[in-house]
Structure 1
C-alpha cells in the first residue's frame, strides 16, 4: 500500500472554479496557491511557535545547568512534555469532530498554552515546572488535531502535502525566531530566564488574538441528503466513540499508525540532539539557544518543496528518506571527526528530516480518513507517534545515565535502522491484484446495514 493516497478530492475539499486555471492545450489545472484558511492558521502557528520555542530553547540548559537535573530526570520531564500532549490529542480530535467546530477546540488549546507561560515566572523547582509544562502540553494536544483537520478540509486531496508544507514552513519561521528572541533576551536581561518566560507569555496572547480574529470557523458539514428526503432537515448523527474506534479498521490508517509508533520509538528528542551536539563539539552555553535555529532554518527552506515532492512522487518515499537523513545525523554525532562543519551538517540533516516527515505524515493520514472524522483520525496517528517519542525520551535518558552518550545514541541508531526497514516493508506498494484499496476519504467508516432503495 502507498503512504500517498491519490484518490479523488473529497467533497469538502473540492476546489472552487477560481482555484483552477486553464493550460494552453485546454486542460484544467489546479492553482498552486493555498487557501486563506491555511495562511491564517500558519500565521497563528508562527506567532505561537515564537512563544513556545523561546521556552524550549532555554529549558534544557535551565533544568540541567540551572536546577541541576540529571539526564534521566530531564528525559522523564521531556517525555512528560511530549507524552501529555499525545494523550490529549485523542480528546481534542474527538471533541472537534463531535461538536463540528474545530476552531473552538483549537482556540481552547491555544488559550490554555498561553495561560501557562506566565506561570513559569513563579516556578523555580522541578515539581511546579512539571505541572505547568503538563498543562501547556495539554493545550498543545487539544489544538493539534483540530488545526490539522482545518488545513486538510480546506485543501484539495492532491495538494495536501503542499498545504501542510506551507503551514509547517510558517510554523517553523516561528521556531526560527523563538530561539533568536530567547538569545537576545538572555544577552540583555539581568534575570535572563524569567525575562524569557515573560516575553514568551506576551507573544502567546497575541497568537490567541490572531486565531479569534482571522481564522474562519472550521468544521465539516453533514453530506447533503437527496431532494425529497423527509430527513433533509434533521440534525446529522453525532460522532460517537465507536465511530472513532472503527477508523482502525482502515488498513492504510493502521499501517500509518504502526509505522509512526515504530519510528517514534527510535527518534531521539530535539533537546537531547542539541545537548549531544554541544557536548560533542564543545559549543559554549551562551550559544546553546541558537542550536535550534539551524534545524528551523533548513526546515523552513525545504518544508514546501518536500510537501510538493511528496504529492508528486509518493509520500512513502519522502517519509522514509527523511528518517534515513536522521540516521545519517546520528552517524555523524557518533563517528565523524571533530571538524568545524560538523555542527552545521548535523543541524542540516535534522532540519531535512523534519521537512520530509512533519507535514507528509498528516497529509497521508488525511487522505485515508472521512471528513467527518478527520480530526479524530489525525489524532489517532499523532497520539501513537507522540507516545512512542515519550517512551524514547525515557529510554534514552536512562541509557545516557547508565551507559553514556555514545552507547545510548548507537542503540537509538540501530533501532531506527531496524524500524525504518520494517516501515518500508509495511508501506510497500501493493502488487497488482493484491488486496483492495481503502474506500475514498469521503466514504463512511461504518456502512449503513440497511439496504438503500434506489430513487423512483
Structure 2
C-alpha cells in the first residue's frame, strides 16, 4: 500500500513516427489556476482577519473559536463526497465546480450581518459547502487533463497560482484595515466583489462538459510506475483500470451510481492513502491556531497579524512547483511524509525555541513548505489509482477523510487550549504528529521488487 510514485515513459510510437513536444501543463490547469487565484484572494481576505475578529473583537473563547474553525473545515469535507459523486454522475465537472464557487461568493456579504456564534457558524458552513462542492470536480479536471507522469507538476502549478491568491488576500486585508475606518466590514465587502469575479472567469473560460479529459491521456500511457503493483485491479463496478477509455465510451457509460463510488474503497492503495491522510489530519493544527500561537509566542502586534498568512503563502508559492516535480521524480510518499516532518519542526520551534527575530520567519517558512509538499502531492497520487470516470469520487474520498480529521483536530485543540493552555495542547499535537508520520512512512512505503 503506497502512493503512486512515478510513471513509465510513453510507449514508443514506432520507427518513422515522431511525437511532437507537448506542454506539461494543460491550458485548463492554467485557467483553473486563475480562478483559484482570484477566489483565494477573496477567501484569504476573510481568513486572515477572522481569528483576530472573533477572539479580540467579538470576545470568543478558544473553545468557541475552535468550534467555528472546525465547522469552517469540517462542513466542506462532508459536502465534498456529494460534489465528487455528482460531478462523476452528471459527467460535468465544470457545472459542479461553478455551483460551489457561486455559493461561496454569495456567502461573503452575509458575514456583514453575522455577529453571534450561531449566525457566524451558519454562514461559514454555507461558505464551506461551496468549497466542498467545487474541490473534487476542480481537481478532477486538473487530473484528467494531465499525463500520469506529470501530475505532481500540474497540481504544483495550480497550487502555486492558488497560493498567489492566498498571498495577495492577507495583503489586501492589511491595506484595507489600515485605510478604512470600519475595517472589518470593508474587508468582507471587497471579498464578496472579488469572489464574483472568480465565478465569471470560471463560467467564461473553463471548458465545459467532457472537455480536456482526453488531453492527459495523449501525452503519456497509463502504465504502472516503478513502485506500483501491476497486479492490483480496480474493484468490480469501479472500472477495470485507471487508463484511458475508448473514444465515445464516456457517452455510452450509464450514470455513476453511489455503489460504484463506494466500491473504490476496496482498492488497497486508496484505502491506505485515505487512512494515512486522516491519521495525519488528526494532529495537524489549523492555520488559524498556528498563527495565533505564533503571535503570542513572538509578541506580534495585532496590526501585523494579517501578514502572518502572507508569510506562509509566499513560501508555498515558491516551493509548490519544485515540490510537485520532486514528488514526480523521487516518489510522492517521500515528499508527503517529509512535509509533515517539516510541520513537526515548526511545532517544536513554537514550543521550545528562544524568542528571537528568526522565530517568525522560520515557523512561517516551515509552515509554507509543509503545504507545498502535501497539498498538491496528495491528489496527484490518485492519478494511477482511480479510474477516470470515478476520478472526482476518489479525490473526494481522500479529501473528505483528511478534512474530517482536521475538523476533529480543531475541536480537540480548542478544547485542550481552553482547559490546559496553548503549550500543553501543542505538545500533545506534536507527539501525535510524530507517531502518525512514522506510521504513514511505513504504510505508504513502496514494496520492494524481487531481483
TM-score by length of structure 1 reads 0.88
Aligned to 1:367: 384
1:103–1:218 contact (8 Å) kept in structure 2: yes
Indicate yes or no: 2:56 matched with 1:56. Answer: no
Equivalent residue for 1:272, pick from 267, 289, 297:
289
Q: Secondary structure at the match of 2:204?
A: helix
Aligned to 1:454: none
CA-based RMSD: 2.1
1:88-138 Cα offsets, whole Å, 9 max, x none, are 000000000000000000000000000000111112222211111000000
- Distance of aligned partners of 1:347 and 1:242 in 2 relative to their CA distance in 1, 3 Å threshold: same
Aligned to 1:443: none
Q: Secondary structure at the match of 1:381?
A: helix
1:366–1:377 contact (8 Å) kept in structure 2: no
1:237-296 Cα offsets, whole Å, 9 max, x none, are 110111011101111111100100000000000000000000001101010000001100
- Distance of aligned partners of 1:105 and 1:233 in 2 relative to their CA distance in 1, 3 Å threshold: closer
2:97–2:135 contact (8 Å) kept in structure 1: yes
Q: Which runs of 4+ in 1 moved over 2 A?
A: 4-9, 26-33, 218-226, 232-235, 431-434
- State which structure, 1 or 2, has the greater radius of gyration over its C-alpha atoms: 1
Aligned to 1:401: 418
1:83-162 → structure 2 map (5 Å cutoff): 83-162=74-153
- Distance of aligned partners of 1:71 and 1:233 in 2 relative to their CA distance in 1, 3 Å threshold: closer
Aligned to 1:69: 60
How far 1:367 moved relative to its partner? 2.3
1:76–1:394 contact (8 Å) kept in structure 2: yes
- Distance of aligned partners of 1:402 and 1:236 in 2 relative to their CA distance in 1, 3 Å threshold: same
Aligned to 2:274: 257
1:322-337 → structure 2 map (5 Å cutoff): 322-337=339-354
Determine the C-alpha separation between the residues in 2 that align with 1:143 and 1:390. Answer: 19
How far 1:2 moved relative to its partner? 3.5
Equivalent residue for 1:413, pick from 430, 440, 444:
430
How far 1:4 moved relative to its partner? 2.5
1:391-429 Cα offsets, whole Å, 9 max, x none, are 000000011011111110000000000000110111112
2:2–2:272 contact (8 Å) kept in structure 1: no
Determine the C-alpha separation between the residues in 2 that align with 1:375 and 1:218. Answer: 14
1:338-373 Cα offsets, whole Å, 9 max, x none, are 111100000000000000000000000222100000
Determine the C-alpha separation between the residues in 1 that align with 2:94 and 2:142. Answer: 11
Aligned to 1:185: 176
Indicate yes or no: 2:326 matched with 1:309. Answer: yes
Equivalent residue for 2:306, pick from 289, 292, 317:
289
Q: Secondary structure at the match of 1:366?
A: coil
- Distance of aligned partners of 1:218 and 1:329 in 2 relative to their CA distance in 1, 3 Å threshold: farther
Gaps of 5+ in 2: 215-243
How far 1:8 moved relative to its partner? 5.8
Aligned to 1:453: none
Determine the C-alpha separation between the residues in 2 that align with 1:218 and 1:433. Answer: 44
Aligned to 1:440: none
Determine the C-alpha separation between the residues in 2 that align with 1:144 and 1:290. Answer: 26
- Distance of aligned partners of 1:299 and 1:233 in 2 relative to their CA distance in 1, 3 Å threshold: closer
Determine the C-alpha separation between the residues in 1 that align with 2:383 and 2:428. Answer: 33
Aligned to 1:343: 360
Q: Secondary structure at the match of 1:82?
A: helix
Determine the C-alpha separation between the residues in 1 that align with 2:117 and 2:185. Answer: 15
Aligned to 1:439: none
1:170–1:300 contact (8 Å) kept in structure 2: yes
- Distance of aligned partners of 1:170 and 1:305 in 2 relative to their CA distance in 1, 3 Å threshold: same
Determine the C-alpha separation between the residues in 1 that align with 2:361 and 2:25. Answer: 32
Aligned to 1:450: none
How far 1:29 moved relative to its partner? 8.3
- Distance of aligned partners of 1:363 and 1:218 in 2 relative to their CA distance in 1, 3 Å threshold: farther
Equivalent residue for 2:245, pick from 215, 220, 223:
223
Determine the C-alpha separation between the residues in 2 that align with 1:283 and 1:309. Answer: 34
2:33–2:158 contact (8 Å) kept in structure 1: yes
Aligned length: 416
TM-score by length of structure 2 reads 0.89
1:313-352 Cα offsets, whole Å, 9 max, x none, are 1001100100000000000000000111100000000000
Aligned to 1:211: 202
